[in-house]
Chain A
Amino acid sequence: GQNIDQPTEMTATEGAIVQINCTYQTSGFNGLFWYQQHAGEAPTFLSYNVLDGLEEKGRFSSFLSRSKGYSYLLLKELQMKDSASYLCAVTDSNYQLIWGAGTKLIIKP
């Protein structure tokens, strides 16, 4: 079966760096997404990786290793507003999106 694994919850300190990991086993691969979802709000797109390597976008970076079935989202200079759930999703060979259960990130002052 197809599966996406990510930690259920993480805690980090304001101003610090946190890395949220995502591993996947899917039938084929056509890209990996990260979405951010604040409590009671819509998920919003953060990043898309289809080739190996690091994509940087301001304080957020996303890394992909297709050979390892692995990605991470790196958040730098954490702010309180970064408290949210982070959803990892992979597009398989049929362009179906397979979702992880999300990682709830708690930022403490």
Chain B
Amino acid sequence: ETGVTQTPRHLVMGMTNKKSLKCEQHLGHNAMYWYKQSAKKPLELMFVYNFKEQTENNSVPSRFSPECPNSSHLFLHLHTLQPEDSALYLCASSPSGTGDNGGELFFGEGSRLTVL
């Protein structure tokens, strides 16, 4: 079983739909992250949870709503998205939020989102 698992791998949704992305980590880590990856652009950090508490929200529009029920699970709820939100959404985990173990991140394979 891989360390960080994301579902679904692919999602197509209309602008009025509501959907959720799920991330699960089996590494015993305490920090989890959502990143947005668009073609030829740097990874954009969206949200950080450290010990289930949200510690970072990088000016993300409210149509993206994170949820972290425990340190192993992370959700990204999607509502009334725009076509420009189409991207690969990557989940990652690390032992803790900052500075630990050189800050190495363990990524899931991502959820490819297309908004029509």
Contacts and interface: CB of A to CB of B under 8 A. Distances in A.
Interface string B18-52: 00000000000000000000001111010000000
Interface in B53-108: 90, 97-99, 102-108
B105 to A, nearest CB: 7
A31 B105 CA distance: 13
Given A42-B4, A42-B90, A95 B103 contact: yes
Contacts of A98: 42
A50 B42 contact: no
A41 B109 contact: yes
A101 B103 contact: no
B20 to A, nearest CB: 20
Interface in A53-109: 87, 89, 91, 95-102
A40 B43 CA distance: 15
A42 B42 contact: no
| Secondary structure class of chain B's binding surface, majority of residues | loop
B102 A31 contact: yes
A42 B103 contact: no
Contacts of B41: 101
A42 B98 contact: no
Contacts of B97: 95
Contacts of A44: 107
Contact of A95 (B42, B99, B107): B99
Contacts of A8: 40
Nearest to B99: A95
Nearest to A104: B40
Interface in A1-50: 4, 8, 30-31, 33, 35, 40-45, 48, 50
Contacts of B42: 4, 98-102
